[in-house]
Structure formats: C-alpha cells, structure tokens
C-alpha cells in the first residue's frame, strides 16, 4: 500500500510503498488543492523543482516536469505501429496529456477521451493548462464515463487504436486490466487495430502485473504483445512501461514516418522507439518458462 505524508516542517510530499520497501519524495511549497470526487481523492501540489504535481488517492499521477516521457511513450509508438490510425479512444487519461500527443498526428480524425472522473480534467485545465491546449481541437471529444462500460457498448471494428491511460489496477481501474475488458477492446478494434496500456514498473510489477496482463491479452485474442520499458522518474522505481497488443505485429513500425515526423517531441523519436522494443533478459527468460 502507498500512503502520502506531508511533513509540514520540512514540506516534502512522500509516496510510501510499504510493501515494496521504498518511498519517493518531492520537496513542495505546499498543497494547492484537495477534493474528494465521487471516485477518488485528488490533490494538486506545488513542488520546488518538478512544477505542479497531481496525486490521486495518494499516488503520484504526473508532474509538470516529467510527464512528457509517459505521454509520448503512451501514444507515439502505438500511433506509428498502426498503418493509418484515424479513430483513437483513450480510456482514462483525464489530465489530457495523452490526448494532446495523439492530436499531433495529422492523420488522426477523431480522438475520444473516456475518463470516469470529470474533476481530473477540470483540475488539469486549471493546473496543467499546457496539457489541455488541444482539448478544443475539432477532432477531440471528451466523454466522462466508465471506460469498461464504454468498451462493452462500442460498435465492432469502430476503433483503430485504444490507449489505456489509467490509474493503478485498484478501484475503478481494476477491471481495465482484465481479460474481459481486453475482449471488448479486441471486438471494438478494426482489422489492423491495437491497444496500448500503461503497465507499471518492470522492476516491481513484472510478475504481479505485466505477465498476467500478457496472459489476459492473449486470452482475449491478441497474438502479438510487447512491453516497452521507459524511464519515469516520479513513478515507483523510476522505471515504467507501456504494453502494446495487436491483431498484427507490434514490433514492426512505420520507422521512416517516425524519422520524418512533422511535430515536436521531447523524448520520442524513431531510435527511442526501436530501443524501447529491445527486451531485457528477464523478460525473455520468463517467456520461456
Ligand atoms: N499517468 C497516470 C499513472 O499511470 O499514474 C495515469 C493518469 S490519468 C490521470 C488516470 C485516469 O484514469 C484518472 O483520471 C482516472 O479517473 C481514470 N480512470 C480510472 N479508472 C477508470 C475507468 N474505469 N474508466 C475511465 N477512466 C478511469
């Protein structure tokens, strides 16, 4: 379990992972906002070196300083893997950072963000306006509701890419890591469709989350699955991952298009994409188990 602490004298926000035996702290000037939404406890902190920090139920969601790593790796590898992504659905992602990256692709015709909690988006508009600058793009649609239900109701073959940008697999996000949800995703996707999901830390959660996620995705009919590790300084262990599952290959990507991309990024490029596909030894060893 993780518990937040704020020691007013030294003014540090800490996320303590008692089970993992680790903690991550950011020095803060103070807390700017706290509220209990119908779904979760949302807080905004003003840090010394990382800009604004959003936490949900005491867990770090994002900071102004390093969210680009996560948002770029949750979007561009998948978008450059699909041959021509036009219809994108983001499940979760209420801070709108992933939506902004998706809309950098001129070929995307419609990007729908389905987050269960409207308050996350309203607070992001206030405290992370730089992430919300594409919310009024005519291709963007914000829908507030449960992503699990949305996917159950989706018309078969109506989506090219699903991005699951969710909280950890507890509370309302728990079902987003299940074979039943992936089956609905599989049905909603078109012939070349793929899904990418944040899959926690390769160091801390390989056996507990990443391997079961692969199994559930396979059960749902996805024959091609790869987990791409990337750095994320503010998440537990500093090492995070995105798992890509597709009806077709997820390791071949439009490398030339990625090299010639027409928009700016701060982390993602074609070489980073290729590098993220390289699998650590322990991923490969466990596959043979
Ligand atoms: N980058 C973050 C991380 O890995 O910690 C995730 C950020 S984003 C703020 C996560 C979002 O998932 C939250 O806004 C939350 O409301 C949303 N969420 C959780 N369960 C959901 C569900 N069942 N349907 C739609 N959105 C959900």
Same domain, 16 and 104: no
Nearest alpha-carbon partner for 162 in 138, 144, 181: 181
Q: What is the CATH number of the domain that holds 279?
A: 3.40.50.150
Mutate which of 115, 145, 185 to test ligand 1's pocket (most atoms within 8 Å of Cβ)?
A: 115
Residue nearest to atom 5 of ligand 1 (CA): 61
* The pLDDT of residue 286: 77
Please give the tally of structural domains in the chain: 2
Q: Does some domain include residue 5?
A: no
**Lookup: tokens for 237:** 């262990």
Is residue 1 in a domain? Answer: no
* Residue 163 placed within a domain: yes
Mutate which of 173, 196, 241 for ligand 1? The one with the most ligand atoms within 8 Å of its CB, which is 173
Instruction: Give yes or no: residues 249 and 193 share one domain.
Output: yes
pLDDT of residue 77: 99
Statement to judge: residues 106 and 154 lie in one domain: yes
Q: Sign (positive/negative) of CA torsion 204, 217, 147, 77?
A: positive
Please state whether the predicted TM-score (pTM) of the whole model is above 0.85: yes
DSSP letter string, 260-272? T-SS--SS--HHH
**Pair (85, 173) in one structural domain:** yes
Q: Whats the size of the chain, residue-wise? A: 289
Q: What is the CATH number of the domain that holds 55?
A: 2.30.140.10
Residue 89: CB partners within 8 Å, gap ≥ 6?
111, 112, 113, 114, 150, 154, 159, 161, 162, 163, 188
Q: What is the pLDDT of residue 78?
A: 98
Strand partners, 8: none
4 falls within a domain? no
Domain co-membership, 155 together with 245: yes
Q: Which residues, including other chains, have CB under 8 Å from residue 170's CB and lie 6 or more apart?
A: none
> Are residues 182 and 238 located together in one domain of the fold?
yes
Q: Are residues 93 and 71 in the same domain?
A: yes
DSSP 169: S
- Beta carbons within 8 Å of 229's beta carbon, 6+ residues apart: 202, 239, 240, 241, 276, 280
Closest ligand 1 atom to residue 235 Cα is: 5
Q: Do 94 and 214 fall within a single domain?
A: yes
**Residue at 3 is within a domain:** no
Q: Is 2 part of a structural domain of the chain? A: no
Distance CA 214, CA 264 (A): 32
Closest CA to 245 of 275, 278, 222, 277: 222
Catalytic residue among 115, 160, 165, 184: 165
pLDDT band at 169 (very low <50, low <70, confident <90, very high): confident
Residue nearest to atom 14 of ligand 1 (CA): 94
How far does residue 38's CA lie from ligand 1's centre (Å)? 14
Binding pocket residue ranges, ligand 1, CB within 6 Å: 61-62, 70, 91-95, 114-117, 120, 146-148, 165-167, 172-173, 176, 198
Q: For the segment 83-105, what is each residue's pLDDT rounded down to a tens digit?
A: 999 999 999 999 999 999 999 99
Residue 1 has pLDDT above 50, yes or no: no
Give the whole-angstrom CA distance, residue 243 versus residue 212.
12
Q: Which of 45, 63, 81 is the last residue of a domain?
A: 63
pLDDT at 45 over 90: yes
Same domain, 180 and 168: yes
Domain boundary residue, one of 23, 48, 63: 63
What is the chain's Cα-based Rg?
18
Mean pLDDT, the chain, rounded, equals 95
**Statement to judge: residues 215 and 90 lie in one domain:** yes
Residue 2 pLDDT > 80: no
Residue 171 has φ and ψ, to the nearest 5°, of 60, -140
% of the chain with per-residue pLDDT over 90: 92
**Which atom of ligand 1 lies at the shortest distance from residue 59's CA?**
5
Could you read off the pLDDT of 197-209 as tens digits, one per residue? 999 999 999 999 9
pLDDT of residue 5: 56
- Going from the Cα of 212 to the center of ligand 1, the distance in angstroms, rounded, reads 20
- How far is it, in rounded angstroms, from Cα 75 to Cα 239? 18
Cα of 27 vs centre of ligand 1, distance in Å, is 25
Give the domain range for residue 84: 67-288
Task: Determine how many CB atoms are found less than 10 A away from the CB of residue 78.
Answer: 27
Residue nearest to atom 8 of ligand 1 (CA): 93
Burial 167-184 (b: 16+ CB within 10 A, else e): bbbeebbebbbbbebbbb
Q: Which two tokens stand for residue 222?
A: 């996805």
- 164 part of a folded domain: yes
Q: Nearest residue CA, atom 17 of ligand 1?
A: 92
Q: What is the mean pLDDT of residues 159-184?
A: 94
The torsion of the CA quartet 214, 145, 154, 140, rounded to 10 degrees, works out to -100
Question: Is the predicted pLDDT of residue 4 greater than 80, yes or no?
Answer: no
Same domain, yes or no: 42 and 100:
no
What is the CA(164)–ligand 1 centre distance, in A? 8
Question: From the alpha carbon of 146, which atom of ligand 1 is closest?
Answer: 24
- For residue 56, the CA-to-ligand 1 centroid distance in Å is 9
Catalytic annotation present for 165:
yes
- 27 & 135 share domain: no
> Ligand 1 centre and the CA of 49: distance in Å?
25
- Hey, what are 138's tokens? 């005519």
* The two three-digit tokens of residue 33, written as one number: 């906002």
Q: Tell me: pLDDT of 176 over 60.
A: yes
Would you say residue 216 lies in a domain? Answer: yes
The tens digit of pLDDT for each residue in 241-251 reads 999 999 999 99
Q: What percent of the chain has pLDDT over 70?
A: 96
């Amino acid at each position: 379990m993780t518990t937040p602490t704020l020691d007013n004298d030294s003014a540090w926000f800490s996320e303590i992972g008692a089970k993992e035996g680790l903690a991550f702290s950011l020095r803060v000037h103070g807390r700017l906002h706290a509220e209990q939404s119908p779904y979760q406890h949302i807080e905004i902190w003003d840090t010394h070196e990382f800009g604004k920090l959003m936490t949900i139920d005491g867990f770090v969601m994002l900071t102004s300083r390093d969210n680009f790593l996560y948002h770029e790796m949750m979007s561009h590898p998948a978008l450059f893997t699909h041959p021509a992504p036009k219809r994108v659905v983001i499940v979760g992602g209420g801070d709108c950072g992933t939506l902004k990256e998706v809309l950098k692709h001129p070929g995307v015709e419609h990007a729908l963000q389905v987050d269960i909690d409207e308050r996350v988006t309203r607070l992001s508009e206030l405290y992370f306006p730089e992430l919300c600058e594409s919310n009024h793009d005519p291709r963007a649609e914000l829908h507030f509701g449960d992503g699990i239900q949305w996917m159950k109701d989706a018309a078969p073959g109506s989506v090219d890419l699903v991005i699951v940008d969710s909280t950890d697999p507890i509370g309302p996000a728990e079902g987003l890591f299940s074979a039943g949800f992936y089956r609905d995703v599989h049905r909603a996707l078109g012939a070349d469709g793929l899904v990418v999901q944040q899959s926690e830390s390769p160091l801390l959660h390989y056996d507990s989350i990443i391997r079961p996620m692969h199994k559930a995705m396979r059960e749902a009919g996805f024959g091609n699955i790869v987990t791409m590790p990337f750095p994320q300084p503010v998440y537990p262990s500093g090492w995070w991952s995105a798992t890509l599952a597709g009806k077709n290959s997820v390791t071949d990507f439009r490398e030339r298009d990625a090299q010639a991309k027409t928009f700016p990024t701060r982390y993602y490029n074609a070489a980073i994409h290729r590098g993220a596909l390289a699998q650590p030894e322990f991923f490969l060893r466990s596959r043979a188990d």
